[in-house]
């Protein structure tokens, strides 16, 4: 099993004075809006997509510092396959998975060093997790 997310609230990570970019891939519009708003309020640059096709187009043209993806997405796309493709292009990309239909995610399914957050979760939990991941990735910017 990959680790469940638990993190304390910390300040956002900034890279050279610019907020880091989080790509949120979520096909439930209301959930996506809550996540995006919470991350924007924390000072992150946030991009969003409703499915893996949109997300891959964003990843092809944007520099993303963290991928947060639902597993079962619109248009029969899949967050697990999306994360694998994203990691093939950028092996160090932090990945956080979420799902309302699963209680866990096996390490065999997930990309290495990823985290699984079961739904429902609070936006504040996701913000804390994001801060923890990006601060760990760039500790000299904390």
Question: CATH code at 126?
Answer: 3.40.50.2300
Q: Is residue 54 part of a domain?
A: yes
Range of the domain at 89: 21-137
pLDDT for res 59: 97
For range 67-81, the mean pLDDT: 94
Q: Is residue 94 part of a domain?
A: yes
Structure tokens at 117: 């957050």
The predicted-structure confidence for 33-66, as pLDDT tens digits, reads as follows: 999 999 999 999 999 999 999 999 999 999 999 9
Q: What pTM value is reported for the model?
A: 0.85
pLDDT for res 129: 97
The closest alpha carbon to 68, from 22, 99, 110, belongs to 22
pLDDT for res 49: 97
Q: Is residue 3 part of a domain?
A: no
2 pLDDT above the threshold of 80:
no
Q: Is residue 10 part of a domain?
A: no
Q: Is residue 8 part of a domain?
A: no
The closest alpha carbon to 132, from 40, 70, 42, 48, belongs to 42
Domain count, the chain: 1
């Amino acid at each position: 099993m990959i680790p469940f997310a638990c993190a304390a609230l910390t300040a956002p990570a900034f890279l050279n004075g610019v907020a880091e970019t989080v790509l949120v891939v979520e096909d439930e519009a209301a959930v996506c809006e809550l996540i995006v708003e919470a991350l924007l309020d924390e000072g992150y640059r946030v991009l969003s997509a409703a499915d893996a096709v949109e997300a891959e187009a964003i990843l092809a043209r944007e520099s993303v510092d963290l991928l947060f993806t639902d597993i079962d997405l619109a248009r029969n796309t899949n967050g697990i396959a999306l994360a694998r493709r994203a990691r093939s292009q950028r092996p160090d990309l932090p990945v956080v998975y979420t799902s309302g239909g699963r209680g866990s995610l096996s390490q065999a399914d997930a990309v290495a060093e990823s985290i699984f957050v079961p739904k429902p979760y609070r936006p504040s939990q996701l913000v804390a997790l994001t801060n923890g991941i990006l601060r760990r990735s760039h500790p000299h910017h904390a």
